[in-house]
C-alpha cells in the first residue's frame, strides 16, 4: 500500500537529517506502531507521507514515496486528501467545524462529493465509528475519547485507505486510550485501512499492532514485528527501575498539606465536591481520574491562586505553618506551596536559559546560581545560551520545577507532568520526584498515566466526577 524508498528528510537549519535513507513497505490493512525517542522524527515520517512535510514544516525531502501505486513524492496535502487521512496530536485544535456532522462532511465538501454520495459516506463512517447518536452534538461538549473518534471519522470520511495518527492516546485517560486502540485495530482488520500510529505510550499498542517501526535518534529506522526488540530493549527501559533512587522507608508524621471539604464551582457547575485529603512531608500522592473529573480544578484550588476568576472554592486548606494559602499574599503563597501547570512552557518567557535562571534567583531573593544548581541536579548539564523553547519537553519541565522549587515551598503540585514525555524522560522525572520526596517535599500529582503512578506514587487517590473515592 505504502512504499518508501531512500527517503531522507532534513529541516532547514538542522545539522543532521531528521530521517536518513528510510526504506519501508506497508501492506494494505497493516497496523503499524511508529516509536522512538522524542524529537527522533516519528511525526516527520508520518507528515512526509501525506505531504505536510515539507509543505507545512519546511525542510527538504529526497527519495520516493508511493501510495497505492501512485507516486506521491512532493505532492501537496490537499492533493492527497482522498488517499490519506491524518489525525493530529490534539484533535480539539484540528477541528474545523462546530458540530460532529459538519466536521465529518468538511472533507467531503472540499473534495466536491455530491449531496447523495456525501450522505452515503456520512452514514458509512458514522456506523463504522459508532457516532450515530452524536451527529448533532457540538464538538466542544464531547469527551476526549469521543473527540478522537470524530477526528478519525473525519479523516476516513472520503474512503481513505491510509490513516496516519500522531500520538492519538497521549491526552486520553486509560479507558479512552484502550478504546481508541481497539477501534484502530478493527479499522485495520475489518476494513483494510493501513494505519500508522506514532506514539510514546505504546504499552497497550504492542499487543495489537502487526508491526513496529523504530525511528532512532540518528534518523535511521528499523522495522520488525511487535515481539521483536521490545521484550529486551524497550520494555526493560520502561519498567526496569534499577537506577531509581531508593525511597526513604519512613515518612515523617507531620502533615504538610491538609484540605477538607474543598468544593470548587464555576458559575453553575460544580467541578469538585467536598474533597478532603492530607499529605505528609516526603510523601508522593497520585491523584488519578479521567479527563474532566476535576483534577485540575482541585489542584488550582489547593494552591490558592484559583483557576480563573470564575472558579469559587469553599472549604479549608492548610499548608504546614503557613495556614490557608488562599489567605496569603501571592509572593508568600509561592513560598508555601508551588505548582507546575499542565503546560509548563507557559511559565517560560525569556530569551535564554541563563536569563530564566537569573530572573528566578532575583524573584526568589536567593543567592545567584541557586536556581541553576537545582536545575543541574534535575536535568544535568545544558547549554545556558539555549532558548527555552528549544529545550526538550523533559528539560522544560525540569526548568519549571527548578524555578518553582527555589522559592522554598515544601509542597509541590503537578498537573499531568508526563504529557509529551517519552519513556526515557518519564523515567527521569520519576527519579527526580523520588529524590525530592526523599528531601522531604510533599508531592501531589494529578495524572491519568497509570504506568507513571506505579513508578512513583506512595499512595493513590481517585477522583470520579469531582468526588474523591
Please give the residue ranges that form the binding site for another protein (CB under 8 A).
50, 52, 55-56, 76-79, 81-82, 84-86, 88, 90, 93-98, 101-102, 105-115, 118-119, 122, 154-155, 158, 300, 303, 305, 307-308, 330-331, 334, 338-341, 343, 345-350, 359, 362-363, 389, 400, 403-404, 407
Smallest separation, CB 332 to another protein (Å): 10
> How is residue 331 annotated by DSSP?
H
Helix then strand then coil, % of the chain, to nearest 5: 40, 25, 35
Smallest separation, CB 52 to another protein (Å): 6
Smallest separation, CB 410 to another protein (Å): 16
Smallest separation, CB 245 to another protein (Å): 27
Yes or no: say if 340 and 305 are a contact pair by the CB < 8 Å rule.
no
Give CA–CA dist 153/60, Å, rounded: 31
- 31 or 300: whose CB is closer to another protein? 300
Yes or no: say if 153 and 145 are a contact pair by the CB < 8 Å rule.
no
8-16: long-range contacts (C-beta < 8 A, 24 or more apart)? 8/61, 8/62, 8/63, 8/219, 9/41, 9/44, 9/48, 9/53, 9/54, 9/59, 9/60, 9/61, 9/62, 10/59, 10/60, 11/57, 11/58, 11/59, 12/58, 12/59, 12/60, 14/59, 16/218, 16/219
Write the burial class of residue 57 (CB in 10 Å: 0-12 exposed, 13-18 middle, 19+ buried): middle
Smallest separation, CB 93 to another protein (Å): 5
- 211 or 360: whose CB is closer to another protein? 360
- 281 or 414: whose CB is closer to another protein? 414
Give CA–CA dist 25/321, Å, rounded: 63
Smallest separation, CB 412 to another protein (Å): 12
Smallest separation, CB 74 to another protein (Å): 15
Only one residue has cell 488517499, namely 83
Smallest separation, CB 111 to another protein (Å): 5
The string over 75-106, giving b where at least 16 C-beta atoms fall within 10 Å of a residue's C-beta and e elsewhere, is beeeebbbbbbbbbeebeebbebebbbbbbbe
Give the count of alpha carbons within 13 A of 66, CB side only.
9
Give CA–CA dist 275/257, Å, rounded: 13
Smallest separation, CB 13 to another protein (Å): 18
- 370 or 455: whose CB is closer to another protein? 370
Give CA–CA dist 114/122, Å, rounded: 12
Smallest separation, CB 85 to another protein (Å): 8
- 305 or 313: whose CB is closer to another protein? 305
- 113 or 423: whose CB is closer to another protein? 113
DSSP string, 271-311: EEEEEEEEEETT-EEEEE--TTSSHHHHHHHHHSS-SSTTE
Smallest separation, CB 351 to another protein (Å): 9
- 135 or 467: whose CB is closer to another protein? 135
- 88 or 203: whose CB is closer to another protein? 88
- 282 or 341: whose CB is closer to another protein? 341
All three cell numbers of 345: 512552557
- 80 or 272: whose CB is closer to another protein? 80
- 82 or 451: whose CB is closer to another protein? 82
Give CA–CA dist 38/218, Å, rounded: 12
Residues in contact with 174: Cβ distance below 8 Å, sequence separation at least 6, in sequence order: 448, 450
Give CA–CA dist 290/287, Å, rounded: 10
- 347 or 467: whose CB is closer to another protein? 347
Smallest separation, CB 430 to another protein (Å): 23
Amino acid at each position: 500500500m505504502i512504499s518508501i524508498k531512500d527517503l531522507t528528510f532534513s529541516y532547514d537549519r538542522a545539522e543532521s537529517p531528521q530521517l536518513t535513507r528510510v526504506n519501508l513497505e506497508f501492506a494494505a490493512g497493516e497496523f503499524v506502531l511508529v516509536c522512538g525517542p522524542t524529537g527522533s522524527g516519528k511525526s516527520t515520517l508520518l507528515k512526509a507521507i501525506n505531504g505536510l512535510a515539507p509543505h507545512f514544516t519546511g525542510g527538504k525531502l529526497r527519495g520516493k514515496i508511493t501510495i497505492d501505486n501512485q507516486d506521491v513524492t512532493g505532492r501537496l496535502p490537499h492533493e492527497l486528501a482522498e488517499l490519506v487521512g491524518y489525525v493530529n496530536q490534539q484533535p480539539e485544535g484540528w477541528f474545523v467545524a462546530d458540530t460532529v456532522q459538519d466536521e465529518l462532511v468538511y472533507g467531503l465538501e472540499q473534495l466536491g462529493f455530491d449531496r447523495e454520495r456525501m450522505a452515503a459516506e456520512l452514514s458509512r463512517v458514522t456506523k463504522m465509528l459508532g457516532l450515530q447518536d452524536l451527529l448533532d452534538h457540538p464538538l466542544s461538549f464531547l469527551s476526549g475519547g469521543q473527540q478522537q473518534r470524530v477526528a478519525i471519522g473525519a479523516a476516513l470520511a472520503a474512503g481513505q485507505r491510509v490513516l496516519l495518527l500522531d500520538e492519538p492516546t497521549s491526552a486520553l485517560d486509560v479507558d479512552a486510550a484502550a478504546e481508541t486502540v481497539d477501534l484502530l485495530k478493527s479499522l485495520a482488520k475489518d476494513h483494510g485501512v493501513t494505519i500508522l500510529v506514532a506514539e510514546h505510550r505504546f504499552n497497550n499498542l504492542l499487543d495489537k499492532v502487526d508491526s513496529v517501526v523504530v525511528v532512532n535518534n540518528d534518523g535511521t529506522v528499523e522495522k520488525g514485528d511487535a515481539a521483536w526488540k521490545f521484550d529486551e530493549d524497550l520494555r526493560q527501559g520502561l519498567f526496569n527501575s534499577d537506577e531509581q533512587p531508593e525511597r526513604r522507608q519512613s515518612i515523617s508524621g507531620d502533615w504538610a498539606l491538609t484540605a477538607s471539604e474543598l468544593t470548587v464551582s464555576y458559575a453553575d457547575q460544580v467541578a469538585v465536591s467536598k474533597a478532603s485529603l492530607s499529605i505528609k512531608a516526603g510523601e508522593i500522592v497520585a491523584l488519578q481520574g479521567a479527563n474532566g473529573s476535576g483534577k485540575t480544578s482541585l489542584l488550582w484550588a489547593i494552591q490558592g491562586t484559583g483557576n480563573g476568576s470564575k472558579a469559587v472554592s469553599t472549604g479549608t486548606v492548610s499548608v504546614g505553618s503557613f495556614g490557608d494559602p488562599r489567605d496569603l499574599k501571592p509572593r508568600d503563597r509561592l513560598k508555601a506551596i508551588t505548582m507546575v501547570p499542565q503546560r509548563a512552557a507557559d511559565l517560560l518567557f525569556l530569551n535564554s536559559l541563563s536569563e530564566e535562571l537569573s530572573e528566578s534567583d532575583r524573584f526568589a531573593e536567593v543567592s545567584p546560581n541557586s536556581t541553576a544548581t537545582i536545575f543541574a541536579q534535575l536535568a544535568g548539564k545544558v547549554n545556558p545560551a539555549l532558548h527555552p523553547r528549544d529545550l526538550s519537553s523533559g528539560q522544560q519541565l525540569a526548568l519549571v520545577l527548578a524555578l518553582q522549587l527555589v522559592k522554598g515551598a515544601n509542597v509541590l503540585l503537578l498537573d499531568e507532568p508526563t504529557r509529551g514525555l517519552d519513556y526515557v524522560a518519564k523515567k527521569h522525572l520519576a527519579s527526580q520526584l523520588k529524590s525530592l520526596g526523599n528531601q522531604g517535599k510533599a508531592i501531589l500529582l494529578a495524572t491519568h498515566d497509570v504506568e507513571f503512578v506505579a513508578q512513583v506514587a506512595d499512595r493513590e487517590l481517585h477522583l470520579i466526577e469531582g468526588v474523591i473515592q
